[in-house]
Amino acid sequence: MSGKAQITLPEEELDWIQLRQDLGPVIEVETTKEKLKRKIKENPLVPIGCLATTAALTMGLYNFRTGNRKMSQIMMRTRIAAQGFTVAALIVGVVMTYGEKKSN
């Protein structure tokens, strides 16, 4: 004898197994790359705003380093505008997504 005893469980405790079989396979889990692609397709203005912010910041810091104060100030102000655009794009994307989910 193996020393293991069989335990019989009441059938109602196994209902979740039957439910899982009835529902079919579990939905697929999306990878990080797939999620990023989906998010960019849903709201393409956010990555554009992020790239614009990064570019303005980089140019502003470069001009600050080289001593071009006027251009550095212009780029820092441009960065603020790009950040505002990015935040506005995020808000519009959230409102649109909420509206789509609410109508479904």
Q: Is residue 45 part of a domain?
A: yes
Is residue 13 included in any domain, yes or no? no
Q: Any idea which residue has 């196994």 for tokens?
A: 14
3: in domain: no
pLDDT in single tens digits along all 104 residues of the chain: 556 676 666 666 667 667 767 776 767 788 999 999 988 888 889 999 999 999 999 999 999 999 999 999 999 999 999 999 999 999 998 888 887 777 76
Are 86 and 46 contacting, i.e. CB atoms less than 8 angstroms apart? Answer: yes
Looking at the domain assignment, is residue 60 inside a domain?
A: yes
Q: Give pTM, 2 decimals.
A: 0.64
Tokens of 60: 């502003």
